[in-house]
Each structure stands twice: as C-alpha cells, then as structure tokens.
C-alpha cells in the first residue's frame, strides 16, 4: 500500500510492479486526482544535481534521475526539453560560492562550463552578471504528465490508484501487516505500507505509531510569469548563486515546455500545509507548526533571511528588484502572478532544515519524510530505493 499519489508515490508503485511482477499494489490518494500538490505546482525543472553535497542521496539520485527522466519522457511521448541553465553571480562576494559550485558539480560527475560576462550574453542576451557557469544537463518537462503516465503504467501492470481516499487511521500488527481506514470509512489491508504523503507524511507516520524525527513545516513558493510579449527576455533557465544556508534556490527564471517564463519562487512560511494563498489559514496546521520547538530555533537563527522573503512576498516592487539583479530590463508591469506551490520542508527539533532526502523504516512501514525539490527529478531512483525497502519489509511478513 502506497499512501500518496504524487510523483514519488507513483514512482514507488511503478518500481514495485516492475521489481516484483504480480505483487498487488494499491495507491491511496486523498485528492480527486494525482499530482495536485508539489508534483503539479512546480516550475518543471529537471535538475542536474550540481547543488547537492557529493555522496548525498540528493546528489546521487538527482544526477541519475535527470538522465532517467529525460529518457522516460522521450520513451513515453511527454513534452520535455534539455536546455541547460546558467547559474549567475551578480555580486563579487558570490564568486567564491560560484567557484565552489564548479568543484561540486565536477565531484558529482556533472559537466559544467565557466563563463565570463560576454559568454553569458551568448546564452542569455538580457541577463547581467559578473560570471556564470553553464550546466548542460538541466532541462524542463511536464511533471503532471509524467505522473499521469505512471498511473497508466501502474494500472496496466495490475496495480490500482484510488483517488478520494484520505487515510485517517492506521492499525499495524507485528508479523501481520497494516490496515488503514479512509475518510469514507473504507478499510484497506496490506502486508507493507509506504508513506509518500508529502505535506502530511509526518502525520501519517504518527498514525502508524511511529515517532518521526522531524516536523513538516510548509513554505509557500510564490511565482510570477513574464507577460507573453516580454517572454523573449529569457531563452532558457537562469538561476542566482544559492545561499548555502538554505535548500531554497532563490528567485530564478524558467522557460517552461509551453514557452511561458516563470519567475520565482520566494519562500515564506505558509499558515496551512496546503496554504497556496496568503489568506488560507488552518488552525490545526498553524498550531502544529508553532508548537514545534525547531520552528522557533529556525526563526531566531534566520529571521533576517525570512524578513526579506516576506518583504518580497508583500511588495511587488521588492520582488521585481530581486529579479532585476539577473534581468535588469524587467519592470513591475512585465510580471503577473502565477499559481503558488508549497514546499514540504522537514525541520529537526534543533531548527535544522533537513537538507537531504529522508527515508526511515519501521515494522511493515517505510516513511519518506523529506522529499522536496529535486524529488520530482529524482523520483524514478527514489521510487526504486523505497520499493526495495518496502519489498524487504513485505518479505518479513511471509
């Protein structure tokens, strides 16, 4: 049983059907259709893996997953483009971090090319910077379409994807397996449960009787788009040099598969786990966030960074100012609001933002407790790893 019909849950179900044909697999998704949250609300980037610590799960799975995602899209007729991207330094104090990214990319086996201002203009004539690196393996695709194809493949292999099936209770019996109850009163039994519930994964872990070492804290990522007549300002993908203290990558420019140019996101605390609008407040979610000691430690440590993100959220002028660091020719009138996303960020009790994918195990269960970006890129290898652990758990019940 896989709880969660986002791209990681579906990739896990797909891997289960391929690893052990004949295994009965059911995916339980609370929404009316799959991929309604992180999978369907991102900029569609196929990440190269250049940012991530060598040897980490993110580095290994992103590098492997990027190649596999391009191949999967090509084989299944899903729109995608391998565009490459620029990571651009606009201030002198960013240059050491840019050079560190060059080294990190090479350690991760990623081809990177260092560029000066004239070479930046060859790739992106309207982008300004002191120096940049070009990462050729980055691209874009339609992750919603990828999720839809995974549903088709799982179903064709005999699996089942049930939508409108929100898990509200879990009963785990050692040596037997698990039974879950849905909001509709349905009871579903399995020998092993995989928790890929994204924004609600820590809650599902607690329903199963486990004590997750982290709390999910939602961060809303707010996007704008360039108006169509100005979309020619950006040819491909342009990123700033990221702040090493945060797993968020900063306001960047992304030309999607449909030709539109997304600008963003910022990262502001959301007042609900599914808080896609500023006005969305859910007291239970907010109480859970504020009741976690790690949140207060995080806030004390990084309040200046957070204040800047909130300022850019509330002020279009401030947001535009941040964009103009990379794209000087853009004005406020060139930007229009686009749908927001919410990042399910795991935070430890000490206030640490969990930087790597986090997968834990307990009897009859596997919990995916931190899988934000680049999880969509890395979903196929993540799915295989989670499936491997789930099958090992299943074998202990036989």
What would the DSSP string read from start to end of 17-62? Answer: HHHSTT---EEEESSSSS--SGGGSS--EE--STTSPTTSHHHHHH
| Residue 389 confidence (pLDDT) above 90 | yes
Burial of 286 (0-12, 13-18, 19+ CB in 10 A): middle
Say what the pTM is.
Answer: 0.95
Strand pairing class (335-347; 45-46): unpaired
The model's pLDDT over 104-137, given as tens digits with 9 standing for 90+, comes to 999 999 999 999 999 999 999 999 999 999 999 9
The model's pLDDT over 62-83, given as tens digits with 9 standing for 90+, comes to 999 999 999 999 999 999 999 9
Residues β-bridged to residue 22:
none
Residues β-bridged to residue 282:
none
In the numeric block, which tokens belong to residue 66?
A: 């990027």
Cα dist from 62 to 65, 240, 341, 362, 376, whole Å: 5, 19, 21, 26, 9
- Nearby residues of 315 by Cβ (< 8 Å), 6 or more positions away: none
From CA 90, how far away is CA 325, in angstroms rounded?
A: 7
CB 161 within 8 A of CB 155: yes
Mean pLDDT of the chain: 95
CB 165 within 8 A of CB 24: no
DSSP string covering 367-395 = EEEE--TTTTTTHHHHHHHHHHHHHHHHH
From CA 172, how far away is CA 179, in angstroms rounded?
A: 6
Comparing 244 with 180, the larger pLDDT belongs to: 180
CB 140 within 8 A of CB 45: yes
The model's pLDDT over 273-306, given as tens digits with 9 standing for 90+, comes to 999 999 999 999 999 999 999 999 999 988 888 8
From CA 83, how far away is CA 197, in angstroms rounded?
A: 31
Looking at residue 110, what is its pLDDT? 96
- What b/e sequence results for 111-145 when a residue is b if at least 16 CB atoms lie within 10 Å of its CB, and e otherwise? ebeebeeeebeebbebbbbebbbbbebbbbbbbbb
CB 226 within 8 A of CB 335: yes
From CA 58, how far away is CA 292, in angstroms rounded?
A: 26
Q: How large is the C-alpha radius of gyration of the chain?
A: 21
Looking at residue 243, what is its pLDDT? 79
The model's pLDDT over 134-171, given as tens digits with 9 standing for 90+, comes to 999 999 999 999 999 999 999 999 999 999 999 999 99
CB 234 within 8 A of CB 327: yes
Confidence of residue 193 (pLDDT cuts 50, 70, 90): very high
Looking at residue 140, what is its pLDDT? 98
Of the candidates 381, 382, 384, 380, the residue with the CA atom closest to the CA atom of residue 369: 382
In the numeric block, which tokens belong to residue 220?
A: 């809303």
Looking at residue 398, what is its pLDDT? 56
Instruction: Return the percentage of the chain with pLDDT > 90, whole number.
Output: 91
| Residue 231 confidence (pLDDT) above 80 | yes
Give the position of tokens 């993540």. 382
Residues 366-372, mean pLDDT to the nearest whole number: 97
């Amino acid at each position: 049983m896989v709880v969660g019909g986002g791209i990681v849950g579906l990739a896990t179900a797909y891997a289960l059907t391929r690893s052990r044909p004949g295994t009965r697999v059911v995916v339980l998704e609370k929404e009316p259709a799959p991929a309604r949250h992180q999978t369907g609300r991102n900029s569609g980037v196929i990440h190269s893996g250049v940012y991530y610590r060598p040897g980490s799960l993110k580095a290994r799975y992103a590098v492997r997953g990027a190649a596999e995602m391009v191949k999967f899209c090509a084989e299944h007729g899903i729109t995608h483009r391998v565009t490459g991207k620029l990571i651009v330094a606009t201030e002198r104090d960013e240059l050491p971090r840019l050079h560190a990214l060059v080294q990190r990319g090479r350690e991760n086996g990623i081809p990177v090319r260092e560029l000066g201002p004239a070479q930046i203009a060859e790739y992106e004539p309207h982008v300004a910077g002191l120096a940049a690196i070009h990462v050729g393996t980055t691209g874009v695709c339609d992750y919603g379409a990828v999720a839809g194809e995974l549903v088709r493949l799982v179903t064709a292999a005999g699996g089942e994807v049930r939508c409108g099936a929100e898990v509200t209770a879990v009963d785990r019996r050692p040596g037997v397996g698990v039974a879950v109850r849905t909001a509709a009163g349905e009871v579903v039994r399995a020998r092993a449960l995989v928790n890929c519930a994204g924004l609600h994964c820590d809650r599902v872990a607690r329903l199963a009787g486990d004590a997750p070492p982290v709390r999910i804290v939602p961060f809303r990522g707010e996007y704008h788009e360039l108006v169509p007549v100005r979309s020619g300002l950006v040819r491909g993908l342009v990123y700033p040099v990221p702040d090493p203290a945060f797993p968020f990558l900063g306001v960047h420019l992304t030309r999607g598969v449909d030709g539109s140019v997304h600008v963003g996101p910022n990262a502001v605390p959301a007042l609900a786990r599914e808080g896609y609008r500023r006005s969305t407040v859910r007291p239970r979610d907010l109480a859970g966030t504020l009741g976690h000691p790690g949140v207060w430690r995080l806030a004390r440590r990084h309040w200046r960074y957070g204040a800047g993100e909130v300022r850019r959220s509330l002020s279009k002028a401030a947001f535009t100012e941040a964009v103009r660091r990379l794209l000087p020719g853009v004005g406020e009138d060139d930007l229009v609001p686009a749908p927001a996303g919410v990042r399910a960020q795991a935070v430890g009790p000490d206030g640490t933002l969990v930087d790597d994918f986090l997968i834990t195990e307990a009897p009859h269960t596997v919990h995916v407790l931190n899988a934000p970006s680049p999880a969509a890129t890395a979903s196929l290898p993540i799915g295989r790893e989670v499936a491997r652990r789930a099958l090992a758990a299943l074998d202990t019940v036989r």
